[in-house]
């Protein structure tokens, strides 16, 4: 009997060990599964949207109406293209070649010029291709004459100068005093990816481990794109596939662009053959902006560009029907080609005066049926300033 009891204890011990090991395996598998879940990112299927031509028109993601605001035309403040427009609660900011103008959002009346293209104490060398306006602080940024970054407020007051890190090609603002700059890999083995800095100090440098061929070509858009989403600064590189949230010491992945075989090769970005002959064979994503429920972007491909939109709720990815923008089936008027998204979740577009004048000449029967707020645009001539389109994104 005692022998049977010992065998029972041994068997129970083995069962307990087996149960414990099984529990550890299950626990590890659960943790591993959770970790994988955390690492999964929403995928923006650009290749899918283009290959099967998944087009979308404005009425699918815009609320009922579009606001049209003609910008006041004043002789000494005529806007030259190309035009980029940003909208705040009460103002419209227009950036063009060596021009920064402020207009009233309500009626489009001219308020003032911000800074000026000159070598005076408040002057700037050039407007910025990326992140010229920070809606979180209402600051305006430009390039200074000593290749620094300079900032202004809505009153046109010069605020601050930031020493530009060597190799910087674009920047974004983390907060009221701290900027982040992307560093272009000109040498092919540049070990800096991003530099976080103030007007006096470098706070942090994010490393770069990617290798490219040394630079033999000049031109092309800056590889780094910054934009604001709420209080967060977001960052994307043309020769990468991931949108990141940036903090002073972290790069946090948020979205992935799925481009398949059309993903541009990092190692070729600086070469003459790629820039002149091969780049058009790939997708190059730029002009990314985001609202609570949508993410919009522009894709350059095959000597053209198309704007696209990603629905965060449905996870669907779509493209505009033409390179001129999203078909305007709300007003049966000119398409909307966005230039930004406001912090209020509005898609902002620009109509040049000449194309409005031409549309009314070509479409007299349609124009005759227009409601008053659209019919007033018939008086615009090619010498006038542009018209801003503001369309509230659906929620």
Instruction: Report pLDDT digits (tens) over 205-215.
Output: 999 999 988 88
CA-closest candidate to residue 103, choices 115, 117, 87, 116 = 87
What's this model's pTM, rounded to 2 decimal places? 0.86
User: Quick one: 55 exposed, middle or buried, by C-beta within 10 A (0-12, 13-18, 19+)?
Assistant: middle
Phi–psi pair at 147, nearest 5 degrees: 65, 20
Q: Which residues of 103-122 are buried (b: 16+ CB within 10 A; e: fewer)?
A: bebeebebbeebbebeeeee
* Residue with token string 């899918």: 48
What pLDDT, on a 0 to 100 scale, did the predictor assign at position 219?
A: 67
What the block records as the tokens of 190 is 């540049």
Angle of CA points 88, 90, 95, to nearest 5°: 50
CA-closest candidate to residue 285, choices 245, 328, 255 = 255
Q: Does residue 280 have a pLDDT over 70?
A: yes
Residue pLDDT, tens place only, 80-120: 878 999 999 999 999 998 999 999 999 999 999 999 999 88
Distance of CA 66 to the CA centre of its chain: 22
Q: How many Å apart are CA 276 and CA 376, to the nearest integer?
A: 44
What the block records as the tokens of 341 is 């998204």
* Residue with token string 């600086």: 270
Q: Does residue 383 have a pLDDT over 70?
A: yes
User: Quick one: 79 exposed, middle or buried, by C-beta within 10 A (0-12, 13-18, 19+)?
Assistant: buried
Q: Are strands 251-258 and 242-246 parallel, antiparallel or unpaired?
A: antiparallel
| Residues pairing with 160 in the sheet | 151
Phi–psi pair at 3, nearest 5 degrees: -65, -40
What pLDDT, on a 0 to 100 scale, did the predictor assign at position 25?
A: 41
Query: Mean pLDDT score of the chain, rounded to an integer?
Result: 88
The fold of the 41-393 domain, in CATH, is Neuraminidase (2.120.10)
CA torsion sign for 160, 161, 162, 168 is: positive
Q: Does residue 379 have a pLDDT over 90?
A: yes
Share of the chain above pLDDT 70, in %: 89
Of 44-48, 265-269, 383-387, which has the strongest mean pLDDT? 383-387
Angle of CA points 325, 331, 332, to nearest 5°: 70
User: Quick one: 194 exposed, middle or buried, by C-beta within 10 A (0-12, 13-18, 19+)?
Assistant: buried
| Residues pairing with 204 in the sheet | 196
Among 212-221, 251-260, 379-388, the least confident range:
212-221
Q: Does residue 36 have a pLDDT over 70?
A: no
Average pLDDT score over residue span 190-210? 94
CA-closest candidate to residue 68, choices 80, 43, 54, 85 = 85
Which band of pLDDT confidence, cut at 50, 70 and 90, is reported for residue 16?
Answer: low
* Residue with token string 């099967």: 52
Phi–psi pair at 325, nearest 5 degrees: 125, -170
Q: What is the CA radius of gyration of the chain?
A: 26
Residue pLDDT, tens place only, 244-261: 999 999 999 999 999 988
Q: Does residue 38 have a pLDDT over 80?
A: no
Average pLDDT score over residue span 263-285? 89
Average pLDDT score over residue span 330-347? 96
Average pLDDT score over residue span 339-353? 96
Q: Does residue 178 have a pLDDT over 80?
A: yes
Average pLDDT score over residue span 57-70? 93
Q: How many Å apart are CA 207 and CA 191, to the nearest integer?
A: 6
């Amino acid at each position: 009997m005692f022998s049977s009891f010992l065998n029972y204890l041994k068997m129970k011990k083995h069962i307990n060990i087996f149960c414990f090991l099984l529990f550890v395996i299950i626990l590890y598998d659960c943790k591993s599964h959770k970790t994988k879940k955390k690492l999964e990112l929403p995928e923006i299927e650009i290749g899918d949207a283009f290959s099967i031509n998944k087009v979308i028109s404005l009425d699918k993601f815009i609320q009922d109406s579009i606001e049209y605001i003609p910008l006041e035309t004043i002789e000494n403040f005529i806007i030259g293209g190309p035009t980029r427009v940003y909208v705040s609660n009460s103002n419209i900011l227009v950036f063009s070649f060596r021009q920064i103008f402020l207009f009233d959002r309500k009626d489009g009346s001219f308020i003032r010029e911000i800074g000026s293209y000159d070598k005076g104490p408040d002057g700037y060398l050039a407007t910025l291709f990326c992140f010229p306006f920070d809606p979180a602080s209402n600051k305006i940024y430009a390039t200074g004459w000593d290749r620094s970054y300079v900032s202004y407020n809505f009153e046109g007051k010069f605020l601050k100068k930031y020493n530009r890190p060597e190799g910087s090609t674009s920047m974004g603002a983390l907060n009221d005093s701290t900027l982040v700059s992307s560093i272009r890999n000109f040498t092919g083995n540049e070990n800096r990816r991003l530099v976080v800095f103030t007007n006096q100090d470098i706070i942090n440098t994010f490393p770069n481990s990617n290798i490219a061929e040394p630079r033999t070509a000049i031109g092309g858009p800056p590889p780094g794109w910054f934009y604001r989403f709420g209080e967060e600064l977001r960052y994307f590189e043309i020769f990468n596939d991931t949108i990141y949230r940036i903090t002073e010491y972290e790069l946090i992945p948020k979205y992935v662009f799925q481009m398949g075989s059309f993903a541009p090769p990092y190692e070729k970005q600086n070469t003459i053959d790629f820039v002149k002959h091969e780049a058009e064979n790939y997708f190059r994503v730029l002009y990314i902006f985001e609202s609570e429920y949508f993410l919009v972007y522009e894709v350059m491909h095959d000597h053209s560009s198309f704007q696209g939109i990603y629905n965060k709720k449905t996870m669907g990815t779509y493209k505009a029907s033409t390179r001129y923008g999203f078909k305007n089936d709300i007003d049966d008027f000119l398409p909307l080609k966005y230039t930004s998204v406001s912090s209020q979740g509005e898609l902002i577009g620009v109509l040049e005066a000449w194309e409005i004048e031409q549309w009314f000449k070509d479409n007299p029967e349609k124009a005759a049926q227009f409601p008053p707020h659209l019919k007033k645009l018939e008086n615009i001539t090619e010498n006038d300033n542009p018209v801003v389109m503001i369309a509230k994104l659906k929620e």
